[in-house]
Structure 1
Amino acid sequence: MSRFCLEYADSTLFYLSDFFTQFPLRITEYNWVIGDILNMMDVSEDKDHWNDIDIIGEREDYLFITGEEFHRILNEYEIYVIFSILTAVPKETILYDITQVPFVDGNADFYEDDYISPVKECIFEVGFFDSTDIIFTVTDENIERMLQDAFPDLKPYCEYGV
């Protein structure tokens, strides 16, 4: 598992559609565990509110969705994240296999050099930190190369000064 950081990231990358435009991971190839959902905001036309129930439902801790549903949400809403974590898992992963939920806000373990995602099926995880830094955890070499190509300022996590 490799970890990287994009320190003082461009603020547009905290808009999820902009993030996935720059980092062209095929969202629909995975299921997703999304943590820290209370730190997400729909900033679509004339909206300015947290945790829009129309988007994510009634959960307050995490969301488990298919890549197709995630893709639909990103096309329909403009989602801005402050603290959040997105974990890509294989399509065959089902909800009851998730025993621990990843989160960024207030999670000291997330900032350790030897952090391992609590989602054992994790292929790729991206943590958005306070609208400034983005931290990546990757288990797939192809995704790691794609990540390095998409973000030339990426540095090894061990160099991150959190």
Structure 2
Amino acid sequence: MSRYCLEYANSDLFVLNDFFKQFPLSITDYNWVIGDILNMMDLSEDKNHWNDIIGEREDYLFIAGEEFLRILNEFEIYVIFSILTAVPKETIPYDLKRVPFVDGNADFYEDDYISPVKECVFEVGFFDSTDIIFTVTDKNIERLMKDAFPDLKPYCEYRV
């Protein structure tokens, strides 16, 4: 598992639509676990959508890539603290024993952090609208990530 950080990231990258424009990972190739969902907001003109998107959940969402892409196409989602975990498409939604989260999670900032989502192939953590932390197990995604974000540095050089 490799970890990288993009410090003082362009604030546009905290709008998920813009993040995925710069990082062209095929969203529909994966299912997604999205944590820290209460630290995200809908910036669309009609700002009453957020509970429609997340329902009554307060901890995380486990959604198919197609549904995640639909949400990104329909809404403008801004993240302050959040974590997105890509899992193989064949991963069937289940109740997590440990939920991935960034805000207040000391384990997330350890050099040897391992995602609590055992099927994780890629995870991106958004930290306080300033830094973006990547955890990746797939070499193809790692190459794509390095191409998309040339200012990445190894996580061991990052100091929260």
Match of 1:111 in 2: 109
User: Once the 2 structures are TM-superposed, how far is the Cα of residue 43 of structure 1 from its aligned partner?
Assistant: 0.5
- Paired with 1:46 and 1:30, the residues of 2 have a C-alpha distance of 29
Q: What is the aligned residue count? A: 160
* Alignment TM-score, normalising by the size of structure 2: 0.97
SS of match in other structure, 1:116: coil
**1:156 pairs with 2:126:** no
- The corresponding residue for 1:76 is 74
Normalising by structure 1, we get a TM-score of 0.96
**Cα distance between partner residues in 1 of 2:121 and 2:44:** 30
CA deviation string 1:78-133 (max 9, x = no partner)? 00000000000011111226332100000000000000001000000000000000
Q: Unpaired segments of 5 or more residues in structure 1? A: none
Matches for 1:57-96 after TM superposition, within 5 Å: 57-96=55-94
What is aligned with 1:147? 145
> Could you say what secondary structure the match of 1:87 adopts?
strand
- Structure 2 unaligned segments of length 5 or more: list them: none
CA distance in 1, matches of 2:111, 2:119: 20
Tell me the distance in 2 between the aligned counterparts of 1:66 and 1:137. 20
Shift of 1:52: 1.0
1:129 paired residue among 105, 127, 138? 127
Runs of 4+ in 1 over 3 A off after TM superposition: none
Report the AA paired with residue 68 of structure 1: E
Q: Which amino acid aligns with 1:111?
A: Y
How many angstroms does 1:41 deviate by? Answer: 0.5
1:101 partnered with 2:111: no
1:30 equivalent in structure 2: 30
RMSD: 1.2
Which residue does the alignment assign to 2:8?
8
| 1:27-81 superposed Cα distances (whole Å, 9 cap, x missing partner) | 000000000000000001152x7x8111111100000000000000000000000
